[in-house]
Structures are given as structure tokens and as C-alpha cells.
Amino acid sequence: MIKLLKWLSVASSLGMLLVLVGGALVTKTESGLGCGRSWPLCNGELIPSNITTETIIELSHRVVSGSVGILVLLLSILAWKFYGHIRETKFLAFLSIFFLVFQGLIGAAAVVWGQSDFVLALHFGISLISFAAVFLLMLLIFEIDKKFDARSLIIHKKLRKQFYMLFIYTLIVVYTGALVRHAEASLVCKSWPLCDNSTPLRTDFNLEQWIQVGHRMAAGILLIWVLYLFIQIAREYRQKRIMFFGWLIASILMIAQVLLGAMIIFTILNLNVALLHALVISCFFGLLSYYVLLSNRSVAYEQEMAVEKNDVHTDQKTSRLHPSRS
């Protein structure tokens, strides 16, 4: 069973990445209405008779999302049934299904009734949370045979808080990036890193330009924060391979993410660059979610150690008061 679950978890995680990139492809190619205002059918038909490029992209995204949804459902049920006793399994299984269904319903509502750009921008972030839950579930399954174990890692309180805050802030940055796409504000600023490098103090922007500028500022802060954490981790956790090398990868992903954002401007919305941009932030968010998981485990481990220490202290005190019992 463990071997089956490993294969299933890997397939589900890769499938969720395809869903995320496929959703970005739908947005970038403006194929959201490739099947008209019809859902789950396409233009009111099971197999559309009038096929366009937009129809193929939208319909393919629906088929992939549905197929991956079946894999995630099967993974969650089997993980819950056979390994529900392991910490976090049931919670992650629930999150995987809940947010996958939730993002599907938002996508369906956008097709049938339409949504504002600010609501549509939530779609990618919700999909990211679903992917992160599946990804973490995969890591839990690989821990079962002890070939991948990081439970004894102690992360100090200040660093744990940084991971928690960074998790929330990353979702905010992701939302602003999705808003840039849905508001069609990707090319409203012709320069980089400023909206207009020739007039760096300019502030008379329209709404779309402010959306773009806001996203760039938020992404810049995120990059600085990630690199600051890497310096901190390199100083304090250099001997902890999971901490040091894991966050090194996270830092490289974030640098690549910022550079890809610049390349989107320089290449005038090259589709491959834009899709890679979505893929990299998805990988970064999955890795960041793992550090949130490690932080939660660290809290639990510290509490267990405190209880054991208190029990030892109590036993020693009892022995001193009643030496005849020892």
C-alpha cells in the first residue's frame, strides 16, 4: 500500500502543478470563455462541434483538472484510511479536497456568471493552497518508512514566526500578481524595475499602473525577506541539511521568479516565460509550506520535551522527599 500511495502522491502533486500552469495558460491566452458561458459542458455540448484554439485550451484545462481531482480524491481517501493516525494527515487530506473543489467552483462561476478581476485573482491563490496541501501529503507519505524524517528538527520561535508571516505575505504577493494578469496590467509599465525609469519619482499612475507597481514593490520586499532568512539560516542552521539546502533552493527559486517577472516585460508577454513564472512561484510556495509544517512540528516537539523534562523533575523531587521509595 505504501508504494501505491507514493506513486499516487507524486502523480497528484505533478498533476496539481499542471492544473496551476494550465490555469495560467487559460488566463494568458484569454481562453476563459473558450467554451462559452457553459459549464461543465463546452458550448452546451459534451464534445464541441466548433473548435477553436481557445476552446482546446479551456477544454483541456477542464479535463486535466477533473482527472487530477479524481487522483487527489483517491489519495486523500487512502491516506485518511490507512495513515490517518499520523499527525497532520487528516487535516492535509481535507485541505486538498476542499480547496480543489473550491477553486473549481470559482472557475465555474467565472464562466457561467462572470466575476470581477479582483475576485478572479483569488483563483490562483486558492489553487496554490490546494497544491501545497497535496505536496505536503506526499512528503508525509514518504516519511512513513523513515527514509525521509525531519521530526526532531528544532526551529526557534522567532524563525517560526517569520515562516508563518512569510506564508501569508506570499499569498498576498501571489494575489497581486494574479490581479496584474486579470486586470490586463502586465505591460502598462514599459520599464523595469520602475514603471518609468526616466522619471523615478513619478506617482501620477492610473489604476492598472498602480496594480503593476504595487505588485513589483510587494515582490521586491518578498525577495529581500527570503534572502534575509537565508543569511539567518546559514548562520544558525548550517549543519541542518533540510534547513540550509532547502532554503537555498527557495532563495534560488525566488531570484528566478523576480528575473522571470522582468523578462515578461522585456519579451513583451512571451507565453513560455509567463508560464514558467507561474510554475516557479508554485514550487516556491510548496517549499515554503513545508517549512510551515516543520515549524508546527517543532512547536509540538518542544512541548513534548517540556512535558518529559517536567516529569523527570517531578520524579526527582518525589525521590528526595521519599528516599525510601526510590
58 catalytically annotated: yes
30: alpha, beta or left? (left if phi > 0; alpha if psi -120 to 50): left
- Contact status, residue 173 vs residue 222, Cβ threshold 8 Å: yes
Set 45, 58, 302, 304: catalytic member: 58
Give the long-range contacts of residues 55-64, CB within 8 A, separation 24 or more: 55/31, 57/25, 57/26, 57/29, 57/31, 58/26, 58/31, 58/32, 58/33, 58/34, 59/34, 59/35, 60/22, 61/19, 61/22, 61/23, 61/25, 61/26, 61/31, 62/35, 64/15, 64/18, 64/19, 64/22
Q: Is 277 annotated as a binding residue?
A: yes
Burial status of residue 80 (CB atoms within 10 A of its CB: 0-12, 13-18, 19 or more): middle
Q: Are 57 and 31 in contact (CB under 8 A)?
A: yes
Task: Identify each DSSP E strand in 150-287 by its residue range.
Answer: none
* Residues forming the active site: 58
Return binding residues for heme: 215, 277
Return binding residues: 215, 277
